[in-house]
Amino acid sequence: MTNDATHKTWSGRFDEPVSERVKRYTASIPFDWRLWRHDIQGSLAHARMLAKQGIISTEDLAAIERGMAQIAQEIESGAFEWSLDDEDIHLNIERRLTALVGDAGKRLHTGRSRNDQVATDIRLWLRDAIDEIRSRIRTLQTALLGLAEQHAATPMPGFTHLQVAQPVTFGHHLMAYVEMLERDWERLTDCRRRTNRLPLGAAALAGTTYPIDRWAVAETLGFEELCRNSLDAVSDRDFAIEFLSAASLVMMHLSRFSEELILWMTPRFGFIDLADRFCTGSSIMPQKKNPDVPELVRGKTGRVYGHLVAMLTLMKGQPLAYNKDNQEDKEPLFDAVDTLNDTLAIYAEMVAGIRVKPEAMRAALQEGFATATDLADYLVKKGVPFRDAHEIVARAVRAAERQGIDLAELPLTTLQQFCPQIEEDVYEVLTIEGSLAARAHIGGTAPEAVQAAIAHARARIAQRG
């Protein structure tokens, strides 16, 4: 990155140059360079509109298009010289364009400001980022669905308060995360709609005196709507805050899953094993296999939360319209997108490599009287009021606990001491498979219900894309 002394676009107003320290402090080119494709895309759409409206000549447009093509090639090849003196991505490209095509490059900025230009660039960039993230969510969902299908009938304990509660299947448990991710996909889709509004044409804050055609630019760039107020257009960052909120929710869901994977991988649970490539060892304890990826996901979730709070804080005290504070919107946004993309990509690979240990899951079910609720439901169906049934089962659990056996191992005569309505058929509901099979409704954990949920999710993904 160069630091050549150049003539600022606004330097005519000032008697002395900006100090080197201030130049470094205020420049955004070290991070906003990554907007270059979208800056060129927006500038070309603007130039074509200016030519169509007769504001610049067709010769100027041809020169601008030729110059932008060369700039894009230089940036892609690494030959482009970035300069701190040009402050940001917009002035760096404009400076090079003017050097290449002369006065035509100087005419490009007619009818716009860096205020509406950067707002347009960020929206274009975030729109593409949202599309990539939504695609990665689909990839992760597909991995979860594949694993869920393999284990649609694999029993495991369902927990409340981290205590064994009722039998579920591992496939059913995984489908809960498919549903969370579907809501995430929906939120991002909705966020994209509000992101996809064109601010260009607002100029600095009050619009422009030139006869511009904002709808023509919007159509060229694929925007669905215009930002309807020039003051709001240049100062609005709601779309970025909304994205960070949606991103935080995605990370929260993955962090919850991470916590479960970490617990399930410990010898105390022993429900699963993660592939070695997602784990590390200890520098001192040779037996260790640490679930580093899930642990880092938990940590990086706080990082994304921090970006959301930073952006809310950035905007909370700003008067209309644009303020230099808004330069600070990019780094949190960029980092959140990078973190989320990387997390989703690595999670999809990791899920596909999970090795399930059904025996350990079944053993854990035997330890927590997981079919106690099934016994209560059985008694209700025999005419016992639910509150009475609850008390009867609680006494039966205490008896089984004292003997160190499961409810299903209590003799019929013992069970009948608690309630004479209990008959031989009670053992059908006290088995794990019986408990699972009884919950065959939509959203239930019966293997057939899980298979139906998987089919429904696949159809939904195919329909929505």
Which pTM value belongs to this model?
A: 0.93
Active-site residue 28, yes or no?
Answer: no
- Does 1 map to a domain? no
Condensed to tens digits (0 to 9), the pLDDT of residues 266-282 reads 999 999 999 999 998 88
Instruction: Characterize 39-51 residue by residue with b for buried, 16 or more Cβ atoms within 10 angstroms of its Cβ, and e for exposed.
Output: bbbbbbbbbbbbb
Which tokens in the block code for residue 221? 């760039």
Kindly name the residue from 7, 19, 77, 161 that is annotated as catalytic. 161
Condensed to tens digits (0 to 9), the pLDDT of residues 390-444 reads 999 999 999 999 999 989 999 999 999 999 999 999 999 999 999 999 999 999 9
- How high is the pLDDT of residue 24? 87
Domain that holds residue 399: 367-464
- Asked whether 322 and 235 are in contact (CB, 8 A), the reply is yes
- Asked whether 407 and 416 are in contact (CB, 8 A), the reply is no
In 10 A of CB 148, how many CB atoms?
A: 27
Which tokens in the block code for residue 12? 């005519």
CATH number at 410 reads 1.10.40.30
List 158's β-bridge partners, or say none: 166
Question: Does residue 6 have a pLDDT over 70?
Answer: no
CATH number at 104 reads 1.10.275.10
- Asked whether 230 and 207 are in contact (CB, 8 A), the reply is yes
- Does 5 map to a domain? no
Q: What is the mean pLDDT of residues 286-306?
A: 94
- Asked whether 5 and 20 are in contact (CB, 8 A), the reply is no
In total, how many domains does the chain have? 3
Kindly name the residue from 282, 283, 307, 390 that is annotated as catalytic. 282
Same domain, 282 and 244: yes
The Cα 106–Cα 94 span in angstroms is 8
- Does 9 map to a domain? no
Only one residue has tokens 């020169």, namely 63
The Cα 243–Cα 336 span in angstroms is 9
Query: Residue by residue, what is the 3-state secondary structure of 439-464?
Result: CCCCCCCCHHHHHHHHHHHHHHHHHH
Single out the residue in 339, 363, 387 at which a domain terminates.
363
The Cα 330–Cα 118 span in angstroms is 10
Active-site residue 161, yes or no?
Answer: yes
CATH number at 283 reads 1.20.200.10
Which tokens in the block code for residue 343? 């997390």
- Asked whether 425 and 416 are in contact (CB, 8 A), the reply is no
Same domain, 86 and 135: no
Question: Does residue 190 have a pLDDT over 90?
Answer: yes
- How high is the pLDDT of residue 15? 65
